[in-house]
Structure formats: structure tokens, C-alpha cells
Structure 1
Amino acid sequence: MSAQPYVKRPGSFTNKVLNPTVSWLSRRGISLAGSSVLAVKGRKSGEWRRTPVNPLTHEGEVYLVAARGHVQWTHNMRAAGGGEMFRGKRGRPFTATEVPDAEKPEILRAYLRKWKWEVGAFFEGVGPDSSDEELRSVAERHPVFRLTYTG
């Protein structure tokens, strides 16, 4: 990974309006195009942190792709090794395994096929029709976790 990991911080509209709205809807069982709420324990505080995410089911596996890069939930996920996924009031516990960059192109392609309308700006011109080489060129900027549900 480069010295300064890629992070595209959300603006105030995302933090104050969009994320709270998506979280509120998800807690009531209403998903926007498959969105859910990720709960993961903070690596320093040990307190549960929640954020809306776009889980991807691809070839029978479930993945979380960090479109905005190495953000807080990715650091917490590495430390905790898992969390809970919410759609409605009940969470599903899972363990998480980080996917190596070499394995990311097909996952990123599938993610962009489904979510480019929302997250395409964070991938700097790379899209679902990009070559494996082009997708590999941005892979280190976008952590990917494979989820295994445990309950």
C-alpha cells in the first residue's frame, strides 16, 4: 500500500443527510437498491460503529467494497475481523476476510456494474467495462472484504 492510503471523505450532505436517511430506512427494513447498515466495533473505543454500505453478492459470496478507500470502517473491520449486517432491526453476525489486490478485478467489475451510478466518481474513470489491468491499477485504493455469515 502507498504511504498515504486513498481516502475520499464524505461531504457534509452525505454525513448529515444521506447516510442518516439510508441508515434510518435500513433500520426499518427498507433497502435502497440493496443497501444495509454495517455495525463493527471501533478499534480504539470498542464501541459499535454503524455506517450504510452496499453489500455485493457475487458468485455465491458476499463482499463489502470500500468505494471511498481506506475509511474508518475498513480499519475497524481489520481490527475486529467481522461485525454485523443490518437490514431491519436484526443483525446478522459475520466474519470478514480481506481480499488480496490480485483477486479484486472481477469483484470490482461486478460492484461497479451494480453501484456505479452511486460510487463511480470514487473510481477515477474505471468502470465495469474496464480491463483487468485497469481495475488492478485502482485495487489497492479500495479495500474489499469477503463476508461469511455466522448466524
Structure 2
Amino acid sequence: MRYLVPSRGTEAFNNVAKWLTARGISLMGSRVLAVRGRKSGEIRTIVVNLFEHEGERYLLSPRGHTQWVRNLRAAGEGELRLGRRTERFVPVEVADADKTPLIRLYLHKWAWETGAFFEGLKADSPDAEIAAAAPGFPVFRLVAR
């Protein structure tokens, strides 16, 4: 399973983005994801990039099968926070075969921020290249709760 540990620079950027988002300032769709830890049972939070495609909302993990991904799978529910507003949701994991347009859209919007995690993939990469990399990038469709 693909999992890239965040660098200190990434952690610093994420902490600033999380602080702003928690105060109601969204950076191009950022939200604070809150999900119960699968081992501790404690609520864990991280900043994520929420995006829409064909009227549905999605989360994608550019660093792979991270702790928030594993916790979300185990918990079966989560919250997105922006300032004082909280939205509860149920995640539906997207099949690898259906990820190509979602990964392409994510890259188009956030390559400036997360492009290094995609190991050479670009928004204009051929479908076959994106499809081959899809198993390393968990994607969740969000269903309102």
C-alpha cells in the first residue's frame, strides 16, 4: 500500500491551512476532516481538499493510504468542518476503475500544492498512466448524513 509520510514542510503548511480552515477561511475548498481514530477512539483532525465532480463531493488522499484514510474506512463516517459549520457524512470508497477523471480533476486544481505526491503524474497525463496509479490514491465520495 502506498503511503508517503509528510515532510516537515508539508506538516507546517498543513498546520497553517488547518488553523485558517478551522477559523472559517477555506483555501480553495479546504476543510478540516474529523474522524474517530481506529485504535485510540479519539477524534483526529487533518486538513483536506474537498472537491466536486458532476454534482458529487469527493476527498482524495494524495499521500496514499494515510492514517486519516484508514480511520475513515474503520469509522464509516466523518465530519467536515469549516469554521463553526460542521457537515456529517458517510464515505463511499470509489473503485480504482472510476478514479481517473477524479485524479485528473484533483491534479488540475491542486497540483501546485500536492503535485510532488503524484510522482510525475500531471493533469494532462494519459488516462492509462493515471489508471495505473489509481490504486495508490484512495478516493471517497461523500454522502450527506
Tell me which amino acid in the other structure corresponds to 1:104: K
Tell me which amino acid in the other structure corresponds to 1:134: E
Q: Is residue 2:108 matched to residue 1:118?
A: no
- Give 3-state SS (helix, strand or coil) of 1:140's partner: helix
Q: Is residue 2:21 matched to residue 1:26?
A: yes
Deviations 1:38-82 (A, max 9, x none): 001101111110000001111101110000001000000110112
Per the alignment, residue 8 of structure 1 pairs with 4
1:90: Cα distance to partner?
Answer: 2.4
Cα distance in 2 for partners of 1:90, 1:113 equals: 27
Tell me which amino acid in the other structure corresponds to 2:43: W
Deviations 1:1-58 (A, max 9, x none): xxxx11111112332x222211111111001121111001101111110000001111
- Structure 2 unaligned regions, length at least 5: none
Aligned residue among 21, 41, 48 for 2:43: 48
Counting aligned pairs with the same residue, the percent is 51
- Structure 1 unaligned regions, length at least 5: none
1:2-151 paired onto structure 2 within 5 Å = 5-15=1-11, 17-150=12-145
Tell me which amino acid in the other structure corresponds to 1:120: G
Query: What is the TM-score normalised by the length of structure 1?
Result: 0.92
Tell me which amino acid in the other structure corresponds to 1:14: T
Pairwise CA RMSD of aligned residues?
A: 1.0
Query: What is the TM-score normalised by the length of structure 2?
Result: 0.96
Alignment: residue pair count: 145
Deviations 1:84-139 (A, max 9, x none): 00111221000001111000001101111111111111111111111221111110
Tell me which amino acid in the other structure corresponds to 1:60: G
